[in-house]
Amino acid sequence: MSVHKEVKRITTNTIQEMKHKGEKIAMLTSYDYSMATIVDDGGIDVILVGDSASNVMAGHETTLPITLDQMIYHAASVVRGVKRALVVVDLPFGSYQGNSKEALNSAIRIMKESGAHAVKLEGGAEVRESIERIITAGIPVMGHLGLTPQSIYKFGTYTVRAKEEAEARKLKEDSQVLQEAGCFSVVLEKIPAILAAEVTKSLKIPTIGIGAGQYCDGQVLVINDMIGLTKGFHPRFLRQYLNLYEQIGGAVQEYVRDVKEGSFPSEKEQY
Ligand code: KIV
């Protein structure tokens, strides 16, 4: 008889309990089956199928072009590779801003067609009705405040947000709105660490920061940036754990050399 050790899945409740126990939450993005398997086996708590796929997978300059169908394709591939982590999927630009019915339909498609566990969307008070409607249908929602890349053409730059008092006040109000609307957590992107600390302290739900400092309840990075697959991207908030761009490039050069000189395949590598 084989004995299978049951893997205890991370749920939205788990990550809320982690905040209350003071245990930090580790989140990374993934966009495909192979990477999701590695990230999940590595012990990550939350995998975000981010609309950053638009940048790092498809080569677009912004997150705006990626479609709902494309997000579902990435999300379903990730879900097939994950046994333990909570899988959260971004609602892409244009799939929820119209009205709350559109938002609910998009969230339902993601849950039904990918098998993911929750959705994420950007914005504060202006998306409250959509958040409430999605949650009423039983779908957990993660919020996203600060630098919200789907609004890049409104901001004009990717610089730190909410440095001014008025924007900081609005962000604090929006964080309360997201909590009241029922979000199970909120991403804080590129805001001053001191503001993120204040928001984190004032909320019962966990905050997950990217470029938002050490006081958030958790941290998230784009996996391609974190393992050095992205060429020439070195923002201050990014800790790069590997330089895969160079390592893979080196492997490709070796392979090209081996093929050209006839040393690959060898006798042992053929039938
Ligand atoms: O799309 C994404 O990868 C994100 C993270 C940067 C939080 O939203």
Q: Is the pLDDT of residue 32 over 70?
A: yes
- pLDDT value of residue 3: 63
Ligand 1 site-directed mutation target among 35, 51, 141, most atoms within 8 Å of CB:
51
Is residue 104 classed as helix, strand or coil in its secondary structure? Answer: helix
pLDDT band with cut points at 50, 70 and 90 for residue 43: very high
* pLDDT of 33: 98
DSSP state of 51: T
Q: Are strands 118-120 and 207-210 parallel, antiparallel or unpaired?
A: unpaired
For residues 140 and 119, give the distance between their C-alpha atoms in angstroms, rounded to a whole number: 6
Q: Where are the domains of the chain?
A: 12-240, 243-271
Q: How far apart (Å, rounded) are the C-alpha atoms in residues 221 and 16?
A: 20
Q: What tens digit of pLDDT does each residue of 81-137 get?
A: 999 999 999 999 999 999 999 999 999 999 999 999 999 999 999 999 999 999 999
Among the CATH numbers 3.20.20.60, 3.40.640.10, 3.40.50.300, 3.60.21.10, which is that of 12-240?
A: 3.20.20.60
Residues having CB closer than 6 A to ligand 1 are 29, 48, 50-52, 90, 187, 189, 210, 220, 222
- Cα-to-centroid distance, 122 and ligand 1 (Å): 10
Mean pLDDT of 243-264: 98
Which among 161, 93, 86 has a CA at the least distance from the CA of 127? 93
pLDDT above 80 (res 70): yes
DSSP single-letter state for residue 149: G
Clarify whether 269 is annotated catalytic: no
**pLDDT classification of 1: cutoffs 50, 70, 90:** low
Q: pTM for the complete prediction?
A: 0.97
What's the CA gap between 235 and 106, in Å, rounded? 32
pLDDT at residue number 4: 65
Question: Which amino acid residue places its CA nearest to atom 4 of ligand 1?
Answer: 50
Contact yes or no for 177/128 (Cβ under 8 A): yes
Averaged pLDDT of the chain: 97
Q: What is the pLDDT of residue 6?
A: 80
Torsion, Cα 171 128 182 219, to 10 degrees, reads -40
β pairing state of 218-221 and 207-210: parallel
pLDDT tens column, 182-233 = 999 999 999 999 999 999 999 999 999 999 999 999 999 999 999 999 999 9
Catalytic residue among 61, 165, 189, 254: 189
The pLDDT assigned to 168 comes to 98
